[in-house]
Chains A and B, each alone.
Chain A
């Protein structure tokens, strides 16, 4: 009888204890959903670091109106109000056709340039069911200089064109830290002297460091491999700035030694020297409009 009672007690307590345990955290019982993939998002606040294209794309169905200014150089002195009297402007529109594909067009006062580009996301940083350490993007742009020809008889439309091809590999290391590498090839159809190369190789690095939920420091540097450019263009583009977010706008304020905003211009036609005070204040303003609402599944 005692043995039976003992057995009863054991069975009951085992059953009850498992029952009680289940009650405490039933979700753990279910386990994690192993099919979830978590993609890295918001690695930058904007689709540009400063001049360079960032890892972020304009979202699908979103139109981004971008207005960018580069003031004159600060070493121009009081007469030019340290550069603020002059400004170079680019107005452009970017659009996200697919989550992985964005295109853009723009017009800049610098060289009266028209430009267009596309950027495709090939790899997407993710964790979970699919682990991908980096995001990889392919970027290509074309620029057309529309300045009046100095010598109209020799003016060919094709000689006004230049192309940039870029691979962007980057990683959002933490909530606040993103770093990317940007090797580029710039092809100019026309160069002024024989010593200049039509094809120019450039390696760039850039990133951002957030210091609050709505503000971040950004930087980028582009190193042009030697013996490719004419001597006046060997000042490498370097920019440092802050990203400020206010509602629907992202406001980027920075210092740069580059005047042009197109890849070809700031990579291969950079004349500013930081040491010499050829520093420009600049800003990019972005305003997004949702043109096509995402399909609800």
Chain B
């Protein structure tokens, strides 16, 4: 009997230690490119993301074909010529929220955290670092962050004719409403 209690207590202890995960399938990622020639923006509202509030591990998966552009031709060029969505259908991010174990994702409030990790776009991986704002409200954790992405860093060739129309650095902004993973 004592043994059963002990085992039960241990299991509870360990599962208590085991971190809670939060996820979304409708995260939003947008990017903007602004030049004197042309402004380009695209939105994706089907980003899958998950993070672990204990270890701070965080991962995104972005279906590149789901980016919606203002102009249909831009969208076609993005998929066909630049991102090559058929060859590289998904972009991913795998990183860590620093000091996650000290953050309380269960209580309403707002705080910021540094996130570092590896971003893979077009089959090329680079280290990225950003500061994210987390807002906890009624059990929903809204994470927001911005990074700058240079297409050339990810092996995306932009021909000379259109180079002036696409910014050297694209501003990528993210907004995700995470819910507890049961």
Chain A residues with a Cβ under 8 A of chain B:
4, 7-8, 11-12, 15-16, 19, 22-23, 25-27, 29-30, 33, 36, 38, 41-42, 59-62, 175, 213-214, 245-248, 288, 290, 293-294, 296-297
Query: Which of B50, B59, B72, B87 counts the most chain A CB atoms within 10 A?
Result: B72
Q: Which residues of A contact B46 (CB under 8 A)?
A: 33, 36
Is B14 a contact partner of A23 (Cβ separation < 8 A)? no
Known: A26-B50, A27-B50, A42-B79. A7 touches B57 (CB 8 A): no
Tell whether B177 is near chain A: CB-to-CB under 8 Å: no
Interface residues contributed by chain B, number (CB under 8 Å)? 42
A228 to chain B, nearest CB (A): 39
SS class of chain A's interface: helix, strand, loop or mixed?
mixed
Contact of A297 among B3, B45, B48 (CB under 8 A): B45
Is B3 a contact partner of A4 (Cβ separation < 8 A)? yes
Is A15 a contact partner of B11 (Cβ separation < 8 A)? yes
Known: A26-B57, A27-B61, A290-B70. A42 touches B80 (CB 8 A): yes
B1 to chain A, nearest CB (A): 13
Rounded to whole angstroms, the CA-CA distance of A61 and B71 in the bound complex is: 9
Query: Which of A8, A23, A294 counts the most chain B CB atoms within 10 A?
Result: A23
Rounded to whole angstroms, the CA-CA distance of A231 and B23 in the bound complex is: 70
Q: Which residues of A contact B79 (CB under 8 A)?
A: 41-42
Is B50 a contact partner of A30 (Cβ separation < 8 A)? yes
Is B63 a contact partner of A36 (Cβ separation < 8 A)? yes
Contact of A62 among B7, B51, B72, B86 (CB under 8 A): B72
A230 to chain B, nearest CB (A): 43
Is B80 a contact partner of A213 (Cβ separation < 8 A)? yes
Known: A19-B18, A41-B65, A62-B72. A27 touches B48 (CB 8 A): yes
Contact of B6 among A4, A16, A213, A293 (CB under 8 A): A4
Is B50 a contact partner of A29 (Cβ separation < 8 A)? yes
Rounded to whole angstroms, the CA-CA distance of A162 and B29 in the bound complex is: 51
Q: Which residues of B contact A290 (CB under 8 A)?
A: 70-73
Closest to A288 in B: B73
Q: Which residues of B contact A4 (CB under 8 A)?
A: 3, 6
Is B63 a contact partner of A7 (Cβ separation < 8 A)? no
Question: For window 1-50 of chain B, which residues contact chain A by CB distance below 8 Å?
Answer: 3, 6-7, 10-11, 14-15, 17-19, 21, 23, 25, 43, 45-46, 48, 50
Contact of B52 among A8, A22, A36, A213 (CB under 8 A): A22
B84 to chain A, nearest CB (A): 7
Closest to A24 in B: B57
Is A26 a contact partner of B14 (Cβ separation < 8 A)? no
Is A8 a contact partner of B10 (Cβ separation < 8 A)? yes
A123 to chain B, nearest CB (A): 19
Known: A11-B11, A175-B86, A296-B68. A26 touches B61 (CB 8 A): no
Rounded to whole angstroms, the CA-CA distance of A25 and B61 in the bound complex is: 11
A33 to chain B, nearest CB (A): 6
- The 7 A-B residue pairs whose C-beta atoms are closest, nearest first, are A59-B72, A15-B14, A175-B86, A26-B50, A290-B71, A27-B59, A213-B81
Q: Which residues of B contact A12 (CB under 8 A)?
A: 10, 14
Is A11 a contact partner of B73 (Cβ separation < 8 A)? no
Query: Which of A8, A19, A245, A297 counts the most chain B CB atoms within 10 A?
Result: A19
B142 to chain A, nearest CB (A): 19
Tell whether B55 is near chain A: CB-to-CB under 8 Å: yes
Rounded to whole angstroms, the CA-CA distance of A147 and B84 in the bound complex is: 48
A185 to chain B, nearest CB (A): 31
Closest to A13 in B: B14
Rounded to whole angstroms, the CA-CA distance of A22 and B18 in the bound complex is: 10
Tell whether B104 is near chain A: CB-to-CB under 8 Å: no
Question: For window 64-119 of chain B, which residues contact chain A by CB distance below 8 Å?
Answer: 65, 68, 70-73, 76, 79-81, 84, 86-87, 92
